[in-house]
Amino acid sequence: MEEDDDSDDDACCPRSPVTLGPSPSIGHEHGLARLLKNNRKWSKAIRERQPDFFEKGSKGQQPKVFWIGCSDSRVPENELLQLAPGEVFTHRNIANVVVSTDLNCLSVLQYAVDVLKVEHVVVCGHYGCGGVAAALGDQSYGLIDHWLANIKEVKHQHLLNLEKIRDQEDRCRALVEINCRNSVLTVAKSPIIRAAWERGQSIEVIGMVYDIQRGLLSELGYHVSNADDLACHLKVNSNELFEARKECAELQKL
């Protein structure tokens, strides 16, 4: 078996703030051999710091957080949350969309809630989302148009207020936020979450957004912990949403 070449450039090895490995070289070409070598270095670094880490992990997982995020490679949930493997259960798709007909997402949600007993369901969008930007326009992208139709439906529900935003980038940011809100409400309305609340299980659904340019997460004010919270959020109309967004932007300028 080939031994690790510690003299090689460590910059090629992926760095995780959790494992304290070396930083990646973004421009470095990663072939299969390089990826496997990176994995060996990563495993070795963890075992040196915590010899029983993998043995403990092999016995099961007990995450408290279920993360529904975008497939974008720039939004690595474990990294930005500073959580180790086993601490966050994850489902990702283009533009963090949750719809009631997506059996894949709902199956993962049910496992997270009913089996893993997570306490927090985080739906996280991110600024600069390509899926959301595509949904703002009228260009056809082929098969993905079927998926983008879910975001376009949200866009049309808030079209009057979105069109009041002249800056295209800010308009896209607004759609990122309300698309995330829509997914939060879809999760909270699901029979899975409703049943959990009815049996007294403590679980909250939270909407967050990640700013890629700053590396920061922010809550969006979409926080649902019970049926009463859900009812209040469902009563909020588009005008109220955008007025609250405008007030928040003004406060941030102070």
Cβ-based neighbours of 35, under 8 Å, separated by 6 or more:
none
The answer to the question of whether 126 is labelled as a binding residue is yes
CA distance 12 to 90: 26
Closest CA to 106 of 192, 210, 30: 192
Q: Which of 12, 13, 129, 172 is catalytic?
A: 129
The answer to the question of whether 248 is labelled as a binding residue is no
| 126 is an active site residue | yes
Q: Which of 12, 13, 124, 126 is catalytic?
A: 126
The answer to the question of whether 102 is labelled as a binding residue is no
| 72 is an active site residue | yes
Closest CA to 186 of 108, 113, 106, 107: 106
Q: Which of 28, 74, 145, 248 is catalytic?
A: 74
Q: How many residues does the chain have?
A: 254
CA distance 218 to 89: 20
Contacts by residues 76-85 (CB-CB < 8 Å, ≥ 24 positions apart):
77/124, 78/16, 78/18, 79/16, 79/17, 79/18, 80/210, 80/215, 80/217, 81/217, 82/17, 82/18, 83/18, 84/18, 84/19, 85/18, 85/57
| 70 is an active site residue | yes
Q: Which of 12, 13, 72, 180 is catalytic?
A: 72
| 248 is an active site residue | no
The answer to the question of whether 70 is labelled as a binding residue is yes
Q: Return the active site residues.
A: 70, 72, 74, 126, 129
Binding residues for Zn(2+): 70, 72, 126, 129
Binding residues: 70, 72, 126, 129
